[in-house]
């Protein structure tokens, strides 16, 4: 009996360590490095925390808006993850970590339809369900994250899930 309890205890302990060691972040996620000193990134930090970045391509008539929000008492807040520095290093090795401006510059040759296909193909969305009162609602979310440049040297790096909105220049 005592051996069974030990065996079960070890199994439960290993199970929880296994859960702790694996992230919920998808392998084909995109991590965009942003700099707090950069004027094109807006950060609002009061009771509501938001980060936003907008990239415009006037020649191809499209714009992308990325935003992370954490609004007090809001049910649809985007997630924040703390990833070990080693995981960020691994994602960098895989080519999933990019400086935000350099990443979007690479997409300048694409038109609006190609941009939409590009993100669906390489960074596919997932659907988040939540309860709002008595109703289940669904929200489309992306495997795209902001990471502050200043956080890259920390033992645990905060990754901010972002929403992605594509629009034409007239829709702004």
Residue 137 domain flag: yes
DSSP state of 109: T
Residue 41 domain flag: yes
Residue 36 has pLDDT above 90, yes or no: no
Range of the domain at 88: 27-171
At 24 the pLDDT is: 58
At 6 the pLDDT is: 61
CA distances from 61 to 64, 130, 168 (A): 11, 34, 5
pLDDT band at 168 (very low <50, low <70, confident <90, very high): confident
pLDDT tens for 59-71 read 999 999 999 888 7
Residue 50 domain flag: yes
Please compute the mean of the pLDDT values over residues 72-88 and round it to a whole number.
84
- Lowest-pLDDT range of 43-57, 82-96, 132-146: 43-57
Total domain count, the chain: 1
DSSP code string of 62-91: EEEEEEEEE-TT-TTPPPEEEEEHHHHHHH
pTM of the predicted model as reported, rounded to 2 decimal places:
0.78
- Lowest-pLDDT range of 106-115, 135-144, 148-157: 135-144
Residue 55 domain flag: yes
Residue 79 domain flag: yes
């Amino acid at each position: 009996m005592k051996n069974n309890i030990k065996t079960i205890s070890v199994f439960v302990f290993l199970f929880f360590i296994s859960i702790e060691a694996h992230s919920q972040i998808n392998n084909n996620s995109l991590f965009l490095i942003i700099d707090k000193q950069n004027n094109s990134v807006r950060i609002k930090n009061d009771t509501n925390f938001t980060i936003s970045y907008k990239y415009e391509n006037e020649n191809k008539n499209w714009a992308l808006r990325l935003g992370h929000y954490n609004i007090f008492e809001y049910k649809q807040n985007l997630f924040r993850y703390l990833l070990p520095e080693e995981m960020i290093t691994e994602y960098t090795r895989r080519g999933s970590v990019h400086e935000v401006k350099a990443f979007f510059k690479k997409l300048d040759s694409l038109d609006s339809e190609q941009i939409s296909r590009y993100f669906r193909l390489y960074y596919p969305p997932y659907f988040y369900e939540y309860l709002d009162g008595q109703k289940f609602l669904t929200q489309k979310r992306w495997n795209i994250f902001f990471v502050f440049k200043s956080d890259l040297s920390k033992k645990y790096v905060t990754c901010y899930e972002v929403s992605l909105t594509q629009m034409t220049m007239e829709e702004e």
